[in-house]
Amino acid sequence: MHKIWESSEMDYSWLRILLIGGGCVGIGYILGRKPLNFRAIIKRGVTRKSTLNASPPSYDGKTDLHEIEQVAEFMEDFKMVLVVRNDLKMGKGKIAAQCSHATLGLYKKLFYRAPKALQRWEMCGQVKVVTRVDSEEELLLLQNRAKTLKLPTHITIDAGKTQIAPNSRTVMAILGPCDIVDEVTGDLKLL
């Protein structure tokens, strides 16, 4: 009789393992089906789905399409040029970080205002060319030239926590058709 009790207890432990395992699989499946945005839940009490359905943010107070969007329909070769201020004597890592900020800043500006232009650039392999200038004045002149040609730009302004003074303009990103971008940056030297 004692042996029967041991075998039934053993069967019970397997059943317990199966139930716990099945419960874990079920919970994992439920959580995996609908990923939660914990930051949004904590801050606003909403889920990821409601944040995705939110209206697009407006950049510079505008929601209209950027002029470059019209050009993207008939011009094929797009590129991004990053113009680095060489006079700041930034280290290689700092330059890489500032170029990343400029790239992302311009991308965010154009995400809703020029999606076709971004798509054209992505289809071209997301070409990025890094050039240099020797002063802030030269950087601002290039930005004005780009604006007259209706090219979107973004200038990164550093917080000044590491190598350079706060509010220093470090890198400018320009995106557009290769021929038009070259009218602005074609004479610059590569970094």
- Together in a domain, 104 and 17: no
Phi, then psi, of 163 in degrees rounded to 5:
-95, -25
Q: Are residues 28 and 87 in the same domain?
A: no
Summarize pLDDT for 107-146 with one digit per residue, the tens: 999 999 999 999 999 999 999 999 999 999 999 999 999 9
Q: How far apart are CA 69 and CA 113, in angstroms?
A: 8
Q: Is residue 61 included in any domain, yes or no?
A: no
Q: Give the pLDDT band (50/70/90) at residue 31.
A: low
pLDDT band at 12 (very low <50, low <70, confident <90, very high): low
Q: Which domain holds residue 48?
A: 2-52
pLDDT tens profile 144-190 = 999 999 999 999 999 988 889 999 999 999 999 999 999 999 999 99
The answer on 174 and 146 residing in a single domain is yes
Question: Is residue 115 in some structural domain?
Answer: yes
Q: Do both 37 and 85 map to the same domain?
A: no
pLDDT given for residue 165 in this prediction? 93
Q: Write b or e for each residue in 92-123: b if 16 or more Cβ atoms lie within 10 A of its Cβ, otherwise e.
A: eebbebbbebbbebbbebbebbbebbbebbee
48 and 72 fall within a common domain: no
If one counts the domains in the chain, the total is 2
Does residue 22 sit within a domain? yes
Extract the runs of DSSP E, i.e. beta strands, from the chain: 78-85, 128-133, 153-157, 169-177, 189-190
pTM of the model: 0.67
Say if residue 73 is in the same domain as residue 26. no
Residue 62 counted as domain residue: no
CA 108, 109, 115, 121 torsion: positive or negative? negative
pLDDT by residue (tens digit) across 74-116?
888 999 999 999 999 999 999 999 999 999 999 999 999 999 9
